[in-house]
Amino acid sequence: MRLEINNNMKNDIEPALGIDTGFISHFTRQTAHLKLNGVKFEDDLYRVGLQYTHNIVLSTNHSLKLSAKKQWQENDTRFSSVNISYQSYF
């Protein structure tokens, strides 16, 4: 269940029902995560997303995260993003 505030929808707060699933795999110094989700809003708008995240451990408390995300929406609206980030844990 999801609630979203979006001016492009007919209601001020639009409810949606969907699924969110994924796979995670641990390697010696890396983690890979694949996520797939889909939602259908009350005003017949649907949204499907796919995301891959790869975390590479550089040393104790330091890692590099690479992620790529693709999202499809009704009316051939598509969004893509690629991110690289450094993480320090304390």
The domain locations on the chain are: 2-88
Quick one: tokens of 6?
């979006």
Residue 2: is its pLDDT beyond 80?
no
pLDDT tens-digit readout, 52-73: 999 999 998 999 999 999 999 8
Please report which confidence band the pLDDT of residue 4 belongs to, taking 50, 70 and 90 as the band edges. Answer: confident
Radius of gyration in angstroms for the set of CA atoms belonging to the chain, rounded to a whole number: 17
Mean pLDDT across the chain, nearest whole number? Answer: 90
pTM of the model: 0.78
Does residue 81 contact residue 66 with C-beta atoms inside 8 Å? no
Please report which confidence band the pLDDT of residue 88 belongs to, taking 50, 70 and 90 as the band edges. Answer: very high
The DSSP secondary-structure symbol of 59 reads: E
Q: In sequence order, which residues have a C-beta less than 8 Å from that of residue 88 and are 6 or more positions away?
A: 61, 62
